């Protein structure tokens, strides 16, 4: 029985060491090492290898990343269990980035960056955090962890999810029927939705129009959720006051794209949250143990929902 690590060698070395220590009965291989494909029971990868059908005894495919949208429909055999990466390192980095983004937008850092470029010393008035309503689109584990980090600042917190949730100190909206009510009270909208057929293009002109005047967007979901032209129009009209984007479509964003130089936009190159090999290896090992004990794995994807 073997585990195949199909990603970069440096991270693989960290996984190899953890597996040797914790699960010595599982043989460990890195991409490029020779192993008969039918011995592979577990595979970790960013996307599905083209020759995945060779692994005829594959039971579990672990995603290197938190999202699984990069596994194209039909690329993973139906009987294979697909598992998202849920690990402390990703969670902590997302908490940092969301705090950074919300504070950047709350404290007018995009405007000050522009003022600095023009050598302007001009304080801007801002509301207290308790009057800035921060709304999370998507209330999964990363959103909930980020919300916990934001609580001490005192923002008015809300969130929307498909199915109803209850989170202490957060006004929770759910279902299509409450979507507009949620949007109309989100001064800073944080998108942390998974990419699915339903969420593709969700950040569009209609959604921006429903946000309050002067709203801001922090996008840490997936690039294809955002209509770039709609965002630029909403920024240029002044309806949206600023945006911070960690994901774009395509990635990298082409050099000529108007978003790069837009004075109200901050862009980072999909670095909000990156899988940390030490904690990720621990999470995968723990999941293999759970699976062997007949328990449900953490992050098991519902293949019909796509997340």
222 catalytically annotated? yes
Catalytic residue among 16, 270, 282, 290: 270
Phi-psi region of 32 (alpha: psi -120 to 50; beta: other; left: phi over 0): left
Query: Quick one: which of 65, 77, 223, 278 contacts ligand GLV (CB under 6 A)?
Result: 65
CB of 262 to ligand GLV, least distance (A): 23
CA–chain centroid gap for 68, Å, is 10
Q: Which two tokens mark 276?
A: 């940390």
Distance, in Å, from the CA atom of 158 to the CA atom of 186, rounded to the nearest integer, reads: 8
Residue 275 as a binder of ligand GLV (CB under 6 A): the answer is yes
Cβ nearer to ligand GLV, comparing 169 with 269: 269
Residue 66 as a binder of ligand GLV (CB under 6 A): the answer is yes
Distance, in Å, from the CA atom of 53 to the CA atom of 303, rounded to the nearest integer, reads: 18
Cβ nearer to ligand GLV, comparing 211 with 301: 301
Distance, in Å, from the CA atom of 218 to the CA atom of 192, rounded to the nearest integer, reads: 9
* E strand or H helix that includes residue 245: strand 240-245
User: Judged by CB under 6 A, which stretch of 6-14, 61-69, 169-177, 253-261 contacts ligand GLV?
Assistant: 61-69
Contact track, ligand GLV, 75-114, x by CB under 6 A: ---------------x------------------------
Residue 278 as a binder of ligand GLV (CB under 6 A): the answer is no
Of 20, 41, 44, 50, the C-alpha closest to 30 is 44
Give strand pairing partners of 300. Answer: 83
Q: Which two tokens mark 5?
A: 């690590």
Cβ nearer to ligand GLV, comparing 66 with 259: 66
Q: φ and ψ at 19, to 5 degrees?
A: -65, -40
CB of 270 to ligand GLV, least distance (A): 6
Give strand pairing partners of 174. Answer: 161
178 catalytically annotated? no
Interior angle at CA 306, CA 300 and CA 307, nearest 5: 45
* E strand or H helix that includes residue 40: strand 40-45
First to last CA, the chain: 27
Residue 67 as a binder of ligand GLV (CB under 6 A): the answer is yes
CB of 100 to ligand GLV, least distance (A): 16
CB of 19 to ligand GLV, least distance (A): 21
Residue 248 as a binder of ligand GLV (CB under 6 A): the answer is no
CB of 67 to ligand GLV, least distance (A): 4
User: Judged by CB under 6 A, which stretch of 59-67, 114-122, 125-133, 259-267 contacts ligand GLV?
Assistant: 59-67
Distance, in Å, from the CA atom of 158 to the CA atom of 165, rounded to the nearest integer, reads: 11
Q: How many residues bind ligand GLV (CB under 6 A)?
A: 6
Residues that bind ligand GLV (CB under 6 A): 65-67, 90, 273, 275
Q: Which residues are catalytic?
A: 222, 270
């Amino acid at each position: 029985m073997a585990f195949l690590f199909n990603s970069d060698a440096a991270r693989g070395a960290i996984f190899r060491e953890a597996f040797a220590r914790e699960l010595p009965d599982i043989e460990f291989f890195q991409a490029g090492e020779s192993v008969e494909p039918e011995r592979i029971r577990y595979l970790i990868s960013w996307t599905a290898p083209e020759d995945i059908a060779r692994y005829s005894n594959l039971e579990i495919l672990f995603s290197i990343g938190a999202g699984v949208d990069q596994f194209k429909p039909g690329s993973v055999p139906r009987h294979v269990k697909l598992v998202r990466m849920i690990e402390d390192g990703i969670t902590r980095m997302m908490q940092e980035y969301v705090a950074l983004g919300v504070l950047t937008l709350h404290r007018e850092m995009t405007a000050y960056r522009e003022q600095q470029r023009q050598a302007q010393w001009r304080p801007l008035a801002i509301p207290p955090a308790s009057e800035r309503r921060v709304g999370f689109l998507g209330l999964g584990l990363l959103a909930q962890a980020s919300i916990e980090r934001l609580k001490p600042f005192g923002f008015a917190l809300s969130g929307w999810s498909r199915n109803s949730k209850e989170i202490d100190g957060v006004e929770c909206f759910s279902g299509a029927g409450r979507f507009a009510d949620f949007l109309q009270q989100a001064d800073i909208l944080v998108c942390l939705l998974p990419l699915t057929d339903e969420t593709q293009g969700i950040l569009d002109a209609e959604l921006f129009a429903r946000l309050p005047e002067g709203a801001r967007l922090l996008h840490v979901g997936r690039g294809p959720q955002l209509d770039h032209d709609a965002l630029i129009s909403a920024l240029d009209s002044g309806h949206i006051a600023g945006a911070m984007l960690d994901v774009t479509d395509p990635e990298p964003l082409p050099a000529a794209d108007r978003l790069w130089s837009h004075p109200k936009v901050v862009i980072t190159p999909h670095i909000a949250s990156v899988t940390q090999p030490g904690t990720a290896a621990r999470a995968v090992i723990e999941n293999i143990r759970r699976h062997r004990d007949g328990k449900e794995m953490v992050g098991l994807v519902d293949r019909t929902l796509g997340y």
